[in-house]
Structure 1
């Protein structure tokens, strides 16, 4: 192959990546806007009609039926279950399974039902899964070369995340960082970056959706004492991420075992538990996205154990088979815990809320680079030094735990762990119990 042919091939491949990324971003940005607007509307309706929470167990049966009836497909003798949610997307990136093209519509419907009846969940999970679903459709429609299929799935993830949060740079990196703990596939940067930016601008510029903003009003001065406080808080936030991940997985595994993976029975029980907890709480502050209290955590005191309530509500909601997203609930837990500790640590309230939001996400998702970029985009570069430290510390000290058991471990975070390269979070958990 001569030089001209090499350049021609290079630009042909590059143009394909840009085209596929732009196409995915355009479609995902549009459907994500529909998700965001509809989700907000349904949440508002539920808040005005508090009695709807009583129907959550029925909603669980409906969601369970949809996933059991339409969410399972065998391809090459391998079960591809949409009920695995982001874990199926991660397995698809690794080439182990396939994202179902129907997965997007299913998770949208499931998310709407969960939100409308008061489940405690976010919405970005649906955006990511829809993004992967659209990417799989592009793979099929254009008969994308096998070597590029994984990158196209990653660009779908990027488009969904970037469009859902209004953070295109974070979205681009998140798509590359989500599947493998401690490794970035930089070859996917072009389609992921294009998809995330196009998705973001389609949502905000074309459809004029406005994302929520969280403002840091004060950042502490750089000093040794301040950094020591940030280190301590980052350790606490990493423990928070571990606690949530472990409880959520324990509930999922336990209900799967008791009900023999019957999604309807699991979700029905989960719905009943959430109704009971809501009655005990005396309000619906911890149902849905709980955005009101999340925003309040940056400006005034919130109940000191709000983070724990949200942790329990969300772990039960998602652990019993309801669907949605985990990022916003993680944001809430971290921000409200930071708010609760600000008077003890003597750091600005809004700063500690922001630190908790980002650090808890870094530890739970095992995506420290994406979490750091999230802080840059979400808080406009304020406190950059502190967020960098917090993301790394939370990531390291959260160990081999995380939101998604299918996430692969490129290499262990420490030599103290007897893990081999390529292990998964799920296998790491099993080895600890042996």
Structure 2
């Protein structure tokens, strides 16, 4: 009976995926592609199919998270509002970004982290207008979810004592471990579609049958391991299992997370990443406690810190990771250890050549040739960060892409009309006018230009 039910669910989801391929996976790469001008999707088609497909995929206990789908659903709502009010260009992207922030804020009860996730991971722009719009959406969504529906945060953990500074060497060592396993997670996740094709020879929409059938085995023998992992994480607050049990939990969750997400089913990796990070922290804490190098009262500290470190390494979004755990725990005293472990894991993944996972998934995504290219003017904003090679350059000295025109420089509250001898300063935001179809190409050319200037400066 279970096999028949799961096969039926898998076929329903497969039909939804065949009609709308962009509901596959978490949906965060799709939102990022929308904001970058690389993808164009119909918001209503995404909204109802992602909602139904996500519920059918998450319901049986597959190792998927709900946070990614929540972000894509909310971004679709933002796109729907933009369509209703006939908004385009920057205004449309602002509403999509605001919706994405609202989705994560509702899922985690973390409006600040939801806002920063959009800025750091999705929009890649710390423009004040983006910040304020995303924050407004996140606060509104969080208020509704808490006060109207009465939802509680997915994760709420606490610890009895702060980690002493004398034990911070554990954070460095654990951060290195998290970075290594984070890089492994990236590599395996990105190769899963190819493995599915080689091993199953099934069409992409039907590959979800594999996790739908295999999850029955996990549910039969160990039902407490099913789902995205929030129950597992909260269980650590009551009891931390022995070392070998924790290792077995990590192996099972890692393997089935890859099988679940690699099939292309509608579901995210946000919460599975946090749960795997928590298990790694528990393994490390229990091992160090058995070796007499760590008091048992600090194991919970490492579990909480490891969630941030693992996400910071895989997503390469350390600020989001730090704020997300801060809002979940509700305590500001752990900002320093969170920063240490997150930056350590980030640096390890960066040194190994790992890319932000959602950006890598977007690049891997096959773009349908039938997507209609819209020819209309659009704005591209380029922030000038501290130490940027653009600092001190004159506008006429820069070989701007011929497909774009520099029409403004936002400097604080002022809008500067650029001339040939206008100097570019740190903190400026350059506003370029280009065609929607050329937006990605222009951005890539400017990134390549900046990389060349930085290399010349070093030489």
How far does the alpha carbon of each residue in 1:372-418 deviate from its partner, in whole angstroms, 9 at most, with x for none?
Answer: 1112211222311100122222222222234322568x99xxxxxxx
Q: Which structure is larger by alpha-carbon Rg, 1 or 2?
A: 2
Aligned partners of 2:24 and 2:265 also within 8 Å:
no
CA 1:133–1:256: 2 relative to 1, 3 Å: farther
Aligned partners of 1:307 and 1:332 also within 8 Å:
no
Which of 78, 93, 102 aligns to 2:35? It is 93
Residue 48 (structure 1) aligns with = none
Q: Which moved more, 1:330-339 or 1:253-262?
A: 253-262
Which of 30, 50, 53 aligns to 1:110? It is 53
Matched, 1:286 2:228: no
CA deviation after TM superposition for structure 1 residue 239, in Å: 2.2
Residue 80 (structure 2) aligns with = 137
Whose helix proportion is higher, 1 or 2? Answer: 1
Q: Which moved more, 1:82-91 or 1:168-177?
A: 82-91
Which of 340, 359, 369 aligns to 1:389? It is 340
Residue 355 (structure 2) aligns with = 401
How far does the alpha carbon of each residue in 1:108-138 deviate from its partner, in whole angstroms, 9 at most, with x for none?
Answer: 1112111222211121111101011111111
Residue 429 (structure 1) aligns with = none
User: Structure 1 CA distance, aligned partners of 2:349 and 2:3?
Assistant: 34
Q: Which moved more, 1:331-340 or 1:397-406?
A: 397-406
SS in 2 for 1:321: coil
Aligned partners of 2:30 and 2:362 also within 8 Å:
no
Residue 8 (structure 2) aligns with = 58
Aligned partners of 1:104 and 1:126 also within 8 Å:
no
User: Structure 1 CA distance, aligned partners of 2:184 and 2:103?
Assistant: 27
Q: Which moved more, 1:310-319 or 1:190-199?
A: 310-319
Matched, 1:218 2:160: yes
CA deviation after TM superposition for structure 1 residue 278, in Å: 4.8
Q: Which moved more, 1:285-294 or 1:133-142?
A: 285-294
User: Structure 1 CA distance, aligned partners of 2:307 and 2:258?
Assistant: 17
Which of 192, 199, 203 aligns to 1:262? It is 203
CA 1:261–1:153: 2 relative to 1, 3 Å: farther
Matched, 1:162 2:113: no
User: Structure 2 CA distance, aligned partners of 1:221 and 1:349?
Assistant: 10
Residue 39 (structure 1) aligns with = none
Aligned partners of 1:120 and 1:317 also within 8 Å:
yes
User: Structure 1 CA distance, aligned partners of 2:116 and 2:216?
Assistant: 38
Matched, 1:378 2:328: yes
How far does the alpha carbon of each residue in 1:268-309 deviate from its partner, in whole angstroms, 9 at most, with x for none?
Answer: 123233334555xx2122221333321122332232221221
Paired positions, count: 352
Matched, 1:304 2:246: yes
User: Structure 2 CA distance, aligned partners of 1:310 and 1:128?
Assistant: 23
Which of 135, 138, 141 aligns to 1:199? It is 141
Aligned partners of 2:153 and 2:328 also within 8 Å:
no
CA 1:355–1:54: 2 relative to 1, 3 Å: farther
Residue 332 (structure 1) aligns with = 275
Q: TM-score w.r.t. structure 2 length?
A: 0.70
Q: Which runs of 5+ in 2 are unaligned?
A: 289-293, 364-382, 385-443, 449-459
How far does the alpha carbon of each residue in 1:55-91 deviate from its partner, in whole angstroms, 9 at most, with x for none?
Answer: 334322221111102x15xxxxxxxx33363221110
Residue 23 (structure 2) aligns with = 82
Residue 130 (structure 2) aligns with = 188
Which of 94, 116, 126 aligns to 2:69? It is 126
Residue 364 (structure 1) aligns with = 314
Aligned partners of 1:168 and 1:193 also within 8 Å:
yes
Q: Which moved more, 1:103-112 or 1:247-256?
A: 247-256
Residue 229 (structure 1) aligns with = 170
Aligned partners of 2:218 and 2:225 also within 8 Å:
no
CA 1:259–1:340: 2 relative to 1, 3 Å: closer
User: Structure 1 CA distance, aligned partners of 2:213 and 2:151?
Assistant: 34
CA 1:148–1:180: 2 relative to 1, 3 Å: closer
How far does the alpha carbon of each residue in 1:179-218 deviate from its partner, in whole angstroms, 9 at most, with x for none?
Answer: 267x534430111000000000010012222224432223
User: Structure 2 CA distance, aligned partners of 1:367 and 1:262?
Assistant: 33
Aligned partners of 2:281 and 2:303 also within 8 Å:
yes
CA deviation after TM superposition for structure 1 residue 231, in Å: 1.1
